[in-house]
Amino acid sequence: MGTIYLDHAATTPLRPEVAAAMAPFLQGLVGNPSSVHRWGRAARSALEDARERTAALLRVRSDEIRFVRGGTESVNVAVLGRAAWLRERGDGEVVFLRSRLEHSAVRESMDAAGALGVRSETFEVDASGRADLPTARELSARGVEFVSCQWVNQETGMILPVPDLARECNAAGVPLHVDAVQAAGRIPLELDEHPIAMVSLSGHKLGGPRSTGILVLRKGTELRPLMFGGGQERGLRPGTEDVAGAVGIARALDLSLDTMEVESPRLADLRAWLEAGLVGAIPGTRVHAGGASRAPHILGLGIPDLPMDVLPGALDLEGIGASAGSACMSGSTEVSPTLRALYGDDASGYAPLRLSLGWTTSAEEVSEALRKIPPIVERIRVSAGVTS
Amino acid sequence: MSSIPEPQLSSLYQELILEHYKRPRNRGELEGGTVEVHMRNPSCGDEIRLQLRVEGDAIMDLRFVGEGCAISQASVSMMTTVVKGGRLDDAMGLAKRFTEMMRGDPEAARDRSLKDLRAFQGVSKFPVRVKCALLGFDALQEAVKRARGTEGSPAVPGATP
């Protein structure tokens, strides 16, 4: 057995069907979609086909799809774009609300929006998945102008109650932005059924290309552009369009959703196997958000009596790819904001390990991981002078 | 340390479905076919053409060509491996049993005669995908009826029960 990759929530291999779909747009002359000649029209046609396909898959209108350069960019365009729009309208200080579990893209773009007169507030979510959601009345009373909430947490897989929150936001007339980067292709989104104003997606988490993302911007929600130039993507993402990228992310979304009813139960079973095996073999291990409803591909563990940050490196030496919190937290020895929000000070007593599964994960890989990981943990405990 | 638990059978089942989707069996044109049926699932655009070579009451060979979602194509592929070389009666019985399983009959889901096709039981929990899984079996039933000559009228493209 060679290496075992269990970090699909960080990034997952490009699907071969995606590479095949993109290939014609990565070689030779691919016109600029804004050009009037045949090369330009061919590129425009491929781009708009990708947009229509994406819209149909997400059950929204094609003029509500903006192709952007990644999930982080999608989040920034939504958060800062809304802040800039409110600022321009002259509202003075406004309140933006987010859950305490948000990815750094949401946290930091909201903090940066402070310069545009935004005051950030948070709502609590506990380890059982219960969220202290604001009611429509509370949103209005607190002067909230924008809410952002992730659908699936990147470190624990926890599914947040987005449909409930969408209902309250809608009743209060407050636009809701949802970071669905870890949710797409894993749980049904059904965007036609929930009044969500903005949704952010990332291509490479679906087996698509890097640096591709989508912002779903439902009709009637206004943003101010953050970048200026040729007006592409209805002004929100100027610059010559990445036709290959749009074709790639559309195909990746297509494949992910097409196989979801089979793939998600498969990953859920593999995750359950991995979870039961590791919890049984490593004394004291707790499952992060274990009591909450979780997306099938992420297993967040807290392992006591272990130095905080050595596990991913030790696993790598044995050919296993995994991470501590989210990949964006790697290298940091601090407790992640997610785990601090869920477990408070207690989080610092457990070394975090995130194992995440994807479309290439096989039962053999899981079996091998189960065989290899417990002795590695035991060795670190012994060498750190902690025996259990 | 406690012993490592085994994976649940269902993850292996799901892997089997994905495997048939990626590498479909008995796909292509059939030389010397005696019956041909074309079926479409209008709700999601799945489409298959199923060809059988029937001799007496035996399905000597069968092949399909089609386009559509993962579940429809995997289900047709797996169906062909189970009915190939078998009798018309058994194929009809299998199609009925599979349909019952997909409609949520727990008795049918335990029926060993379905062999690997029991992998699709999980899909029965997703009503919108049930029709996709049934497409190949609808085509099979139609083909068997025609092979027996009991059904005079040609299959109407787009017709699903």
Domains in chain A, CATH or no CATH each: 4-11+260-383 (3.90.1150.10), 16-255 (3.40.640.10)
The string of pLDDT tens digits covering residues B52-77 is 999 999 999 999 999 989 999 999 99
Beta bridge partners of A118: A94
What pLDDT score does B150 carry?
Answer: 53
The string of pLDDT tens digits covering residues A324-337 is 976 555 555 678 99
What pLDDT score does B8 carry?
Answer: 61
Residue B159 has pLDDT above 90, yes or no: no
CA-wise closest residue to A72 among A226, A244, A220: A226
What pLDDT score does A168 carry?
Answer: 98
pTM for this structure?
Answer: 0.90
Q: Is B43 in the A-facing interface, judged by CB distances under 8 Å? A: no
DSSP, res A302: E
Tokens of A145: 């102008």
- Rounded to the nearest 5 percent, the helix, strand and coil shares of chain B are 50, 20, 30
Distance, CA of A77 to CA of A224 (rounded, Å): 9
The string of pLDDT tens digits covering residues A127-166 is 999 999 999 999 999 999 999 999 999 999 999 999 999 9
CB A235 within 8 A of CB A66: no
For residue A176, what is the enclosing H or E element?
Answer: strand A176-179
The upper half-sphere exposure of residue B132, i.e. CA atoms within 13 Å in the direction of its Cβ, equals 27
Q: Where are the beta strands (DSSP E) in chain B?
A: 35-41, 46-55, 58-67
Q: Is A269 in the B-facing interface, judged by CB distances under 8 Å? A: yes
Confidence band of B2 (pLDDT split at 50, 70, 90): very low
Confidence band of A1 (pLDDT split at 50, 70, 90): low
Residue B154 has pLDDT above 70, yes or no: no
Q: Is B21 close to A280, i.e. CB distance below 8 A? A: no
CATH of domain B24-147: 3.90.1010.10
Among A226, A308, A328, A376, the one annotated catalytic: A328
Of B7, B14, B123, the CB nearest to A366: B7
The upper half-sphere exposure of residue A9, i.e. CA atoms within 13 Å in the direction of its Cβ, equals 32
Quick one: closest CA in B to A374, which residue?
Answer: B1
Q: Mean of the pLDDT values across residues A55-69?
A: 98
Size of interface A-B (CB pairs under 8 A): 64
For chain A, percent of residues with pLDDT exceeding 70: 97
For the ranges A216-220, A260-264, A331-335, A372-376, the lowest mean pLDDT is seen at A331-335
Give A25→chain B minimum CA distance, Å. Answer: 24
Beta bridge partners of A304: A350
Residues of A in contact with B75 (CB under 8 A): none
Of A266, A276, A281, the CB nearest to B11: A266
Distance, CA of A268 to CA of A262 (rounded, Å): 10
Give B36→chain A minimum CA distance, Å. Answer: 27
The string of pLDDT tens digits covering residues A180-192 is 999 999 999 999 9
Residues of B in contact with A281 (CB under 8 A): 1-2, 4
- Report how far apart, in Å, the C-alpha atoms of A43 and of each of A108, A237, A243, A349, A358 are: 35, 17, 7, 54, 32
Q: Is B14 in the A-facing interface, judged by CB distances under 8 Å? A: yes
Cα three-residue angle A185-A187-A192, rounded to 5 degrees: 90
Confidence band of B7 (pLDDT split at 50, 70, 90): low
Does residue B77 sit in helix, strand or coil? helix
Contacts of A100 (CB under 8 A, 6+ apart): A122, A123, A124, A125, A337, A338, A341
Distance, CA of B22 to CA of B2 (rounded, Å): 37
Any catalytic annotation for residue A328?
yes
Tokens of A327: 């990949």
What pLDDT score does B9 carry?
Answer: 63
